[in-house]
Each structure stands twice: as structure tokens, then as C-alpha cells.
Amino acid sequence: MTDLSDHYGTADAVARVREHLEDSQLERLAALDQFHVGGAAATRRLAERCGFTKGAAILDVGSGLGGPARLLATEFGGDVTGIDLTPEFGVIAQALSAHVGCRDVTRFCAADALDLPFADGTFDVVWTEHVAMNIGARDVLYRELGRVVRTGGRMALYDVVAGPAREPLTYPVPWAREAGQSHLVDADALRWIVAAAGWDEISVTDESAAALEWLETARPPGGGGPSLRDVMGPDFPEMIANLRANFAAGRLGAVQAVFEKPS
Ligand SMILES: C[S@@+](CC[C@H](N)C(=O)[O-])C[C@H]1O[C@@H](n2cnc3c(N)ncnc32)[C@H](O)[C@@H]1O
């Protein structure tokens, strides 16, 4: 796998985020901690589609800075464990959770989605938003997620996928500064790979139009709170501009999908 440590985990990211922590509250963190197209609203849509019950044990795979985990805990009653390949992100996620009173319902550690440090059947739900684009071994990923969820448990995915244009992307984009870091499949291939890994499909929703609309209209919340630019560096605006252009040209699409582990 291409090394992602220089892409996501810049050494001073923790310090830059801590500078903002003093006066930040949960709702002001969305420009920082919902690291996917569509922000908190997209996470809510996926939670409603997934339909888990209060107290569900959720594994957020590639939890980033922890925004989805905190939203699933505070708005939907989940008990959320986050893992991420980028250790700095786990440190920031843990600090943000402590800062906004989510320490008891969220926890974060460094781990690889392809080799999870959990026993078989540990979770009711496995959750992943905007992570699989970095993972070439999709068959391994979806089997590993299936291993750690209980029989009858669910998998909720929100992914950027290859769009109908079949053209090379313009880089950098938020998950990759060059093509070797990006591993996109189209929506049909995604469904096929997930089914082959043993999952039953519950729903697949095309989010491409919603994603483009959000990219064309969303403005970061004001007030000088922390943002993903603090973490990703000065080329983050260029990544977002390229993301928008790639969506507009049909080079990218977006999908939310829910699957169940059959008995
Ligand atoms: C675009 S961010 C999304 C973060 C979070 N899911 C969200 O929506 O706010 C992608 C994340 O995937 C993580 N990631 C990439 N490959 C991974 C892997 N093999 N195992 C675990 N995390 C991974 C990165 O470190 C990064 O935090």
C-alpha cells in the first residue's frame, strides 16, 4: 500500500488543533472533524439509513478526527470505537472528545482497517465514511469488517466512487496528493465486491448530486474555529477545488450503502 503518513499525519497537526480547543464547542467543530463531503448532515443521513438501536456498539473504521463518532454517540445513542491508520488523528479525536464531554461514549486508537485488533463478532455496526478510497484491497477490507461484526449486524458505507466520465482525476484531492494513493471503484463494482465478501445488500443510495451541491454551496462555519486546513496544510483549498471540479466533470460520484451480515 502507498504510504499515507505524509499525506494525512503532518507532525504539527496536533499542536495546530490544540491552539483552537479552548473556545470550541461540538457544533463549531464540523469544519474540522467531519472529514467528508456533505459534513454532519451526510453522517446523519447514513445513520438514519443504517437504523441501529440506542446503545449499539459501533466501530468507526478510519475515524479521522472523530466527528462522525461523536455525532453517532450524541445524536443516535451509539457507543463508538474509532480506529485510524494516522496516529495523530486518534490523538486529536481523543482530545476533542474529552473537550466536548464525549469521553465515555467514544474512544479512539491507531489501527489498520485491514487487520483490526478486535475479536470476531465484537460490534453491532461497522461504519466507514470516505476511507475506502485509500484502500486497494477492498476484498480484504470488507471481509475484515465482516469478521468483527456480529451475525445480523450492519455495515454502513459512505464512499467517493469513480464517476461515469472514466477520466483521470485532477490531483491533489482530499484523500490523495497523487494517483498512487487513490483506489476508486465505481458504484456497481463496489456492490459486487461487498456482496462477494459475504454481505447482504439493504440499501444503496446515489449521493452524487447532493455531494456536488454541497461542494458548490457549503461555506465553512464562521467564528475562527479550527478547520481541516489546520490539519491538512495550505494545499487543502486546492484539494477541495479539485474535488468540486472532478465531481462536476463526472469523474467522481458518491454512494451511501447499508449491508447486513447474514446468518
Ligand atoms: C478523508 S478521512 C475521513 C475521516 C472520517 N471517516 C470522517 O469522515 O470524518 C480518511 C481517513 O481514513 C484513514 N485511513 C486511510 N486508510 C486507512 C486504513 N487502511 N486503516 C484505517 N484508517 C485508514 C486516514 O488516516 C484518514 O483519517
pLDDT tens digit sequence for 215-256: 999 765 445 667 888 888 889 899 999 999 999 999 999 999
CA distances from 145 to 76, 112, 154 (A): 21, 11, 10
Strand order in the sheet with 252-260: 106-110, 79-84, 57-61, 123-129, 149-162, 252-260, 200-206
CA–CA dist 201, 155 (Å, integer): 10
Number of folded domains in the chain? 1
What CATH number does the domain containing 182 carry? Answer: 3.40.50.150
Q: Within 13 Å, how many C-alpha atoms sit on residue 116's CB side?
A: 26
Residues with CB under 6 A from ligand 1: 4, 8, 34-36, 62-64, 67-68, 84-86, 89, 112-114, 129-131, 134-135, 174-175
Q: Scanning the structure block, which residue is given the C-alpha cell 461514549?
A: 105
Cell of 108: 479512539
pLDDT at 207: 98
- Ligand 1 atom with the smallest distance to the CA of 89 is 27
Which residue numbers in the chain have pLDDT < 50? 1, 221-222
In terms of residue numbers, what domain contains 226? 5-260
User: SS3 of 262, please?
Assistant: coil
CA–CA dist 16, 88 (Å, integer): 12
| pTM for the model | 0.91
